[in-house]
C-alpha cells in the first residue's frame, strides 16, 4: 500500500473558501492573478534594490480596482469589507510593501477624505486616487510621538483665513511619491486633519533609506515649513484624535487579512521545498519533526483566517468594534511573523536569500508588527477592554 497521497494546501484543509461568497472569491482571484503575473517575478529585485515603481504600480492597482475598493462612490468600487480584506491578503502574499501602498492609499488617505472631507475635497481627490492617477499619504507619526500621537508637536495656526502648518512627520508610507498628504496637526483647540497638496511651498518629503524591512515600499519624513493652506484645506468632519484613529482602524482591518497572505506564501513555499529537498536520502517533508512544524503552522494560519473572516463579516454588518480589530491585528501579525521565521528554519541556508520569499516576508512583517499600533498597544487595547482599566500610561 502506498504511504503517500496528493498534498492539500493548508487553507484548503481548513475549507475556508466555503465561507467566502462567490463575488468576493472572484475579486480575490483577480488580485491573486495580478500578483502572480505582475509582482512575483519582480518583487525580489525591488526588495534588493530598496525601491518600488510606485507611480506605475498605483496606475496598475487603480486599473485592477483595489484602491479605495471598499468605499462607495467617487470612482470607488464599493465592495464588501471582506473582499477588501481578501485583496489585502493576496497583495501581501506578493509583498507587504505592495499591500502597504494600497492600505495607505485606500484606508488612510482616501478614507480620511471620504469620511471626514468636504464635498469639494472628495470631488477633487477621490476619483483620481481610485484610478491611481494621484497618490496619497497619511502623516500622523512624528519622530518623538508614535504610539502616543496625542503628544504631536506639528502645529496648525490660523493666519487670517489661512492655516499655516509647521512640524515634522516620520515613517510616512508613500510620502516622497505622494501628490496629496493628509496631515494631522494640533490647533489651539483640537487635533485637526489637513489635505495638503505636496507641491505647496514649504512641504518636502525626504525618503528614509537604509531600511532592512519593507524595502519595496517608499517611507519618508514629511517636513512642514510654514506650509500655508486655504481654510478649505481642513477636513471639516474630523476634530480630535478620533479622526485619525477611525482611519487607522480601517487600515488595521486590512492588515488582519494581509499578514496572513505573507504567512500563506511562506508556508506554501516551504511545503513545496520540503517535499523536494532530500536529506539523509528522503524528502525533508517526510520527517516527523518537519511535519510537526508544518502542522502547527497550518493550524495557526487557518485559525487566523477564521478570525479574519469572522471580523470581515462583523465589519460588513457594521458591527465591528475597534477592540475586535485589535484582536485580529495582534494575533494575525504575531502568528504570521512566527510562521515566516519557522519556515526559514526549514529552508535552511536557502532561506536567507531573495530566491525564496520567506525571509523577505519575515523582515517585512517586522514593520507590520510595529505600524498601525504595535503589538503592545493592541495588548493594552484588549487589556482595557477585558479589565475596564486603561494601562497606557
Ligand atoms: C515601514 C513603516 C511605515 C510606516 N508608515 C506610517 C504612515 O504611513 N503614517 C504614519 O503616520 N505612521 C507610519 N509608521 C509609523 C508607525 O505607525 C509607528 O512606528 C508606530 O506607531 C510606533 O511608533 P514608534 O515607532 O515611535 O515606537 P514607540 O511609540 O516609540 O514605541 C517603542 C516601543 O514602546 C512600546 N510601547 C509604546 N507604548 C507603550 C506602553 N504604554 N506600554 C508599554 N510599551 C509601550 C511599543 O509597543 C514599542 O515596542 C510607519 C512605520 C514603519 C516602520
Q: Point out the ligand 1 atom lying closest to the alpha carbon of residue 147.
A: 29
Summarize pLDDT for 31-76 with one digit per residue, the tens: 999 999 999 999 999 999 999 999 999 999 999 999 999 999 999 9
Summarize pLDDT for 248-301 with one digit per residue, the tens: 999 999 999 999 999 999 999 999 999 999 999 999 999 999 999 999 999 999
| Confidence at 4, pLDDT banded by 50, 70, 90 | confident
Q: Does an H or E element contain 47, and which?
A: helix 40-49
Q: What is the pLDDT of residue 2?
A: 62
With CA atoms as reference, report the closest residue to 89 among 99, 102, 76: 99
Q: Does an H or E element contain 127, and which?
A: helix 119-131
> Cα of 330 to ligand 1 centre, how many Å?
14
Ligand 1 binding pocket (C-beta < 6 A) is: 104, 138-141, 146-147, 171-173, 214, 219, 367, 370-371, 374, 376-377, 380, 392
> Cα of 173 to ligand 1 centre, how many Å?
13
Here the cell at position 322 is 475597534
SS3 96: helix
Here the cell at position 35 is 500578483
> Cα of 156 to ligand 1 centre, how many Å?
23
With CA atoms as reference, report the closest residue to 170 among 216, 207, 196, 214: 207
**60 annotated active-site:** no
> Cα of 249 to ligand 1 centre, how many Å?
15
- Reply yes or no on whether the pLDDT at 377 is more than 60: yes
Compute CA 137 distance to the chain's CA centroid, rounded to the nearest angstrom: 13
CA distances from 347 to 214, 340, 360 (A): 21, 11, 13
Compute CA 197 distance to the chain's CA centroid, rounded to the nearest angstrom: 23
Task: Name the residue at shortest CA distance from atom 4 of ligand 1.
Answer: 171
> Cα of 251 to ligand 1 centre, how many Å?
15
Summarize pLDDT for 314-340 with one digit per residue, the tens: 999 999 999 999 999 999 999 999 999
Q: Is there a contact between 149 and 140 (Cβ–Cβ < 8 Å)?
A: yes
Which residue among 95, 146, 181, 334 is best mutated to probe the pocket of ligand 1, counting the most ligand atoms within 8 A of its Cβ? 146
- Reply yes or no on whether the pLDDT at 1 is more than 60: no
Percent of the chain at pLDDT exceeding 90: 98
Here the cell at position 189 is 483647540
User: pTM of the predicted model, to two decimals?
Assistant: 0.97
Which residue among 171, 198, 247 is best mutated to probe the pocket of ligand 1, counting the most ligand atoms within 8 A of its Cβ? 171
Summarize pLDDT for 129-185 with one digit per residue, the tens: 999 999 999 999 999 999 999 999 999 999 999 999 999 999 999 999 999 999 999
Mean pLDDT of 208-220: 97
Which listed residue (124, 372, 376, 389) is catalytic? Answer: 372
Q: Is there a contact between 11 and 271 (Cβ–Cβ < 8 Å)?
A: no
Summarize pLDDT for 98-122 with one digit per residue, the tens: 999 999 999 999 999 999 999 999 9
Amino acid at each position: 500500500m502506498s504511504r503517500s497521497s496528493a498534498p492539500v494546501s493548508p487553507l484548503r484543509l481548513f475549507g475556508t473558501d466555503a465561507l467566502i461568497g462567490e463575488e468576493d472569491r472572484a475579486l480575490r482571484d483577480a488580485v491573486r492573478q495580478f500578483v502572480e503575473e505582475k509582482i512575483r517575478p519582480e518583487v525580489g529585485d525591488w526588495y534588493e534594490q530598496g525601491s518600488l515603481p510606485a507611480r506605475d504600480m498605483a496606475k496598475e492597482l487603480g486599473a485592477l480596482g483595489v484602491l479605495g475598493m471598499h468605499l462607495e462612490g467617487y470612482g470607488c468600487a464599493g465592495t464588501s469589507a471582506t473582499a477588501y480584506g481578501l485583496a489585502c491578503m493576496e497583495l501581501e502574499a506578493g509583498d507587504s510593501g505592495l499591500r502597504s501602498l494600497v492600505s495607505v492609499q485606500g484606508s488612510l488617505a482616501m478614507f480620511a477624505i471620504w469620511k471626514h472631507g468636504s464635498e469639494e475635497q472628495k470631488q477633487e481627490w477621490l476619483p483620481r486616487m481610485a484610478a491611481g492617477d494621484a497618490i496619497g499619504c497619511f502623516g500622523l507619526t512624528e519622530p518623538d510621538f508614535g504610539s502616543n500621537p496625542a503628544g504631536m508637536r506639528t502645529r496648525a495656526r490660523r493666519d487670517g483665513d489661512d492655516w499655516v502648518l509647521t512640524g515634522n512627520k516620520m515613517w510616512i508610507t508613500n510620502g516622497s511619491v505622494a501628490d496629496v498628504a493628509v496631515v494631522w496637526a494640533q490647533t489651539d483647540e483640537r487635533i485637526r486633519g489637513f489635505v495638503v497638496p505636496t507641491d505647496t511651498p514649504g512641504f518636502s518629503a525626504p525618503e528614509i533609506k537604509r531600511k532592512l524591512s519593507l524595502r519595496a515600499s517608499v517611507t519618508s519624513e514629511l517636513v512642514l515649513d510654514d506650509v500655508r493652506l486655504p481654510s478649505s484645506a481642513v477636513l471639516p468632519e474630523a476634530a480630535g484624535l478620533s479622526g485619525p484613529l477611525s482611519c487607522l482602524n480601517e487600515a488595521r482591518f486590512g492588515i488582519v487579512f494581509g499578514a496572513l497572505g505573507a504567512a500563506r506564501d511562506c508556508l506554501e513555499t516551504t511545503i513545496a521545498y520540503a517535499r523536494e529537498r532530500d536529506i539523509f536520502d528522503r524528502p525533508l517533508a517526510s520527517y516527523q519533526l518537519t511535519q510537526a512544524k508544518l502542522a502547527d503552522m497550518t493550524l495557526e494560519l487557518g485559525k487566523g483566517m477564521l478570525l479574519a473572516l469572522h471580523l470581515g463579516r462583523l465589519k460588513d454588518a457594521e458591527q465591528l468594534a475597534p477592540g475586535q480589530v485589535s484582536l485580529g491585528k495582534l494575533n494575525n501579525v504575531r502568528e504570521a511573523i512566527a510562521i515566516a521565521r519557522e519556515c526559514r528554519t526549514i529552508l535552511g541556508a536557502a532561506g536567507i536569500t531573495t530566491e525564496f520569499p520567506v525571509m523577505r516576508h519575515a523582515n517585512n512583517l517586522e514593520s507590520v508588527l510595529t505600524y498601525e499600533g504595535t503589538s503592545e498597544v493592541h495588548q493594552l487595547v484588549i487589556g482595557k477592554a477585558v479589565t475596564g482599566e486603561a494601562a497606557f500610561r
